[in-house]
Structure 1
Amino acid sequence: MTKFDLIATSAMGLEALVAKEVRDLGYECEVENGRISFKGDEAAIARANMWLRTADRIRIKVGEFKARTFDELFEKTKSLPWEQYLPEDAEFPVTGKSVKSQLFSVSDCQAIVKKAIVERMRTHYKKTGWLEESGPFFKIEVALLKDVAILTIDASGSGLHKRGYRTGQGEAPIKETLAAALVTLTNWTPNKPFVDPFCGSGTIPIEAALIGQNIAPGFNREFVSEAWNWIPEKVWEDARMEAEDLAKYDQPLEITGSDIDHCMIKIAEENAFEAGLGDLIQFKQMQVKDFTTTKEYGVIVGNPPYGERLGDKEAVQKMYEAMGKVLAPLDTWSIYILTSDEEFEKVFGKPATKKRKLFNGFIRTDYYQYWGKRPPKIR
């Protein structure tokens, strides 16, 4: 099978998590800002799309070269083996970005890359007129950074955060990939209770349940590369079969999501049902200050309101303070809260064991981690 240069793109701060997932699939990788590079065959394209929980998308790198002039960009793009990827009738729009490069006009770079690929395709397929572009879809990106151009083809289609279960959402939904990262960064194991007291449309509890039962996040969706004729149908069948075989559907879970808004609880229940997890997650309308439990050694993960809007901060900080008081006695529970409020620890009433910088969309946040006591070792 052919080996491809593959890239799993990542949100800032999640690179190490994506790299671990790539290695867990059996591929060596290199980590840079926002991208994890690895080599793999057609099966790697399918398996990476199917299994990576915290990556944004999978790209195939066609070429990388220095390009300081438009002529250089054109000739070096044209010299790449596009016919190995694009059939004669391929539809291939070109997107682009440029950072700290002499070729700063993105629209010009896109047009030149498109023209170079068209010329290469015309020569290879012995065409004189227009290319029809009525066939399978290949989204090409030219990304320039410090005069180095990387040309890639998107093998995912919709971003990997689109798992296919979200029927509804609130005003500021957390991306499924970030929700999965928040769960992965905890000490939760499927035999412990898991609680999200600000569940909104249920994304964090649903991602926890998928992790708890080892269900592949891409199992219920399609990918653009499934329509490519050079990836055999059997490759995708095998990837789905592997996902089915590795799922632990009989793993019992105790996952609860609560929210102050009864409308969000209804949406969360519908989303969990759509994900096939309706019976596994309990949702209830409740304020965080009313939370009680008799269980030990549980995990709380919350993405509460941040108070970003003018006038909201005071109310949000009062809620943080009430949450700190109600959770203070739970010394065997581990608590993880994502917020952009830099005064969180002071208002919550306790310094975090550890903090991790993450981005929720474009908002810079900290993930405050409070580790509870460990259960006694069973002799």
Structure 2
Amino acid sequence: MQYKLLATMASGLEALTAREVQALGYEERTDNGKVYFEGDETAIAKANVWLRTADRVKIIVGQFTATTFDELFEGVKALPWDHYLPLDAEFPVAGRSVRSKLHSEPDVQAITKKAIVDKLATVYHRHGRLAETGKTYPLEVSILRDVATLTIDTTGPSLFKRGYRIAKGEAPLKENFAAALVMLTNWHPDMPFVDPTTGSGTIPIEAAMIGLNLAPGMQRHFAFEDFAFMDPEILQQVKDEAMDQADFDRELDIQGFDLNPQMIEIAKENAKQAGLSQAIRFKQVAVKDNQLTAPRGVIVSNPPYGKRLGELDAARQLYKEMGEVYRPLTGWSKYILTADLEFEKAYGAKATKRRKLYNGTIRTDYFQYWAKRAPRQ
């Protein structure tokens, strides 16, 4: 069966996710925070296993205009819920409404739930409430500018939960956002890669997974594994194919530094959980003591932002040290994420390019300092 599918992601990462969907072999259409594509059950499994930058993969059951609760009820009831939900399905309904006449989200949820119950009761010839004692099918009704979209979440816990991070620091990056930071650079697996403020090691771990072509969803479970219409062999086949595509023999030069020895131990533990202990070297080193001897490479850093009272001066001192150490490394590209929009002043150089991104709800800029091109041989 062919499904209309939807991948969601953080604002600003749409182009990356679209490129990933294309790489899986599917045509896509991009909107704000969304990438639409079509595919069968294998596409659902592949998207969940392979997408590094997405949050979720959803099946679109239907879309229609709804400006009254009667229109919402009838529109939901007309959809083919029996194609997806067995009689005993548990189907919690989440609801969102933005810039729409039906702005009461609790009412939108309740009416959607009632309409689905009515549809299933009619199809399965049942009266009254449904038992909902079976597997869970997470549903969402989202109304944007009076257009209702009904979806089934195939992912479960967000795709950023890869399964390898058993310990984390004070302000950890989500795994899919860390992967995006790596994918927005000019890094190739044959180049040195350094994260000088590594924290729990998420950026180097994601870089290693990219470098070895490891699918990010290999270690986790998904909501669709419980769906009656999904053959369980499909996911196993997708994971087996992903394992065959991994390049475990590739030599990587990836390092993560941090001033805090406790964070270095946490990073090592997470890398071990990811099966990447041999691919990454973690070391306790202060930024001002970084000694990078290779002529070319890539630095990616998510340093402290100095958002808390009294911490901005310390953060800007760190940015100043970064500038003093990294500016002379003209063969290295530097990519630094921070919410301090005055970063360039402390660093001591204007960025080649700035890209606006959202780290959760925090507005940040990705300051990019591109390396000088190597002379032609």
Q: TM-score, normalised by structure 2?
A: 0.99
Aligned to 1:67: 66
CA–CA separation in structure 2 for the residues paired with 1:135 and 1:250: 44
Deviations 1:210-248 (A, max 9, x none): 000000000111101011121112211221111011111
Aligned to 1:7: 6
CA–CA separation in structure 1 for the residues paired with 2:246 and 2:315: 39
Please state whether the residue corresponding to 1:200 is helix, strand or coil.
coil
Aligned to 1:40: 39
Tell me if structure 2 keeps the 8 A contact 1:90–1:135: yes
CA–CA separation in structure 2 for the residues paired with 1:208 and 1:303: 14
Tell me if structure 2 keeps the 8 A contact 1:162–1:176: yes
Deviations 1:262-288 (A, max 9, x none): 111111110000000011111111111
Aligned to 1:208: 207
Poorly superposed stretches of 4+, deviation over 6 Å: none
Deviations 1:115-164 (A, max 9, x none): 00001011111112431111111110011111111110000001000000
Please state whether the residue corresponding to 1:335 is helix, strand or coil.
strand
Please state whether the residue corresponding to 1:62 is helix, strand or coil.
strand
One-letter amino acid matched to 1:51: W
CA–CA separation in structure 2 for the residues paired with 1:360 and 1:255: 23
Q: Does 1:28 align with 2:46?
A: no
One-letter amino acid matched to 1:323: M
CA–CA separation in structure 1 for the residues paired with 2:58 and 2:292: 45
Aligned to 1:94: 93
Aligned to 1:283: 282
Aligned to 1:238: 237
Aligned to 1:174: 173
Note the C-alpha offset of 1:190: 0.6
CA–CA separation in structure 2 for the residues paired with 1:237 and 1:375: 44
How do 1:104-253 residues align onto structure 2 when only pairs under 5 Å count?
104-253=103-252
Deviations 1:43-91 (A, max 9, x none): 0000000000000100000011110111110011000000111111111
Aligned to 1:264: 263
CA–CA separation in structure 1 for the residues paired with 2:57 and 2:327: 42
Please state whether the residue corresponding to 2:324 is helix, strand or coil.
helix
How do 1:335-374 residues align onto structure 2 when only pairs under 5 Å count?
335-374=334-373
Q: Which moved more, 1:231-240 or 1:265-274?
A: 231-240
Please state whether the residue corresponding to 2:237 is helix, strand or coil.
helix
Paired residues, number: 377
CA–CA separation in structure 1 for the residues paired with 2:64 and 2:269: 48
Query: What do you get for the CA RMSD once the two structures are aligned?
Result: 0.9
Note the C-alpha offset of 1:374: 2.7
CA–CA separation in structure 2 for the residues paired with 1:234 and 1:376: 52
CA–CA separation in structure 1 for the residues paired with 2:287 and 2:26: 42
CA–CA separation in structure 2 for the residues paired with 1:376 and 1:326: 23
CA–CA separation in structure 2 for the residues paired with 1:4 and 1:369: 39
CA–CA separation in structure 1 for the residues paired with 2:367 and 2:19: 22
Tell me if structure 2 keeps the 8 A contact 1:67–1:149: yes
CA–CA separation in structure 1 for the residues paired with 2:184 and 2:266: 26
One-letter amino acid matched to 1:12: S
Please state whether the residue corresponding to 1:156 is helix, strand or coil.
coil
CA–CA separation in structure 2 for the residues paired with 1:112 and 1:153: 17
CA–CA separation in structure 2 for the residues paired with 1:270 and 1:153: 35
One-letter amino acid matched to 1:134: T
Aligned to 2:311: 312
One-letter amino acid matched to 1:230: F
Identity of aligned residues (%): 57
Q: Which moved more, 1:321-330 or 1:46-55?
A: 321-330
Tell me if structure 2 keeps the 8 A contact 1:297–1:374: no
Q: Which moved more, 1:368-377 or 1:253-262?
A: 368-377
Aligned to 2:296: 297
Deviations 1:346-375 (A, max 9, x none): 110111111110000101001011111233
Please state whether the residue corresponding to 2:234 is helix, strand or coil.
helix
CA–CA separation in structure 2 for the residues paired with 1:250 and 1:86: 44
Please state whether the residue corresponding to 2:317 is helix, strand or coil.
helix
Note the C-alpha offset of 1:28: 0.5
CA–CA separation in structure 1 for the residues paired with 2:59 and 2:139: 9
CA–CA separation in structure 1 for the residues paired with 2:357 and 2:250: 30
CA–CA separation in structure 2 for the residues paired with 1:134 and 1:166: 32
CA–CA separation in structure 1 for the residues paired with 2:341 and 2:233: 51
Please state whether the residue corresponding to 1:248 is helix, strand or coil.
coil
Tell me if structure 2 keeps the 8 A contact 1:10–1:56: yes
One-letter amino acid matched to 2:116: I
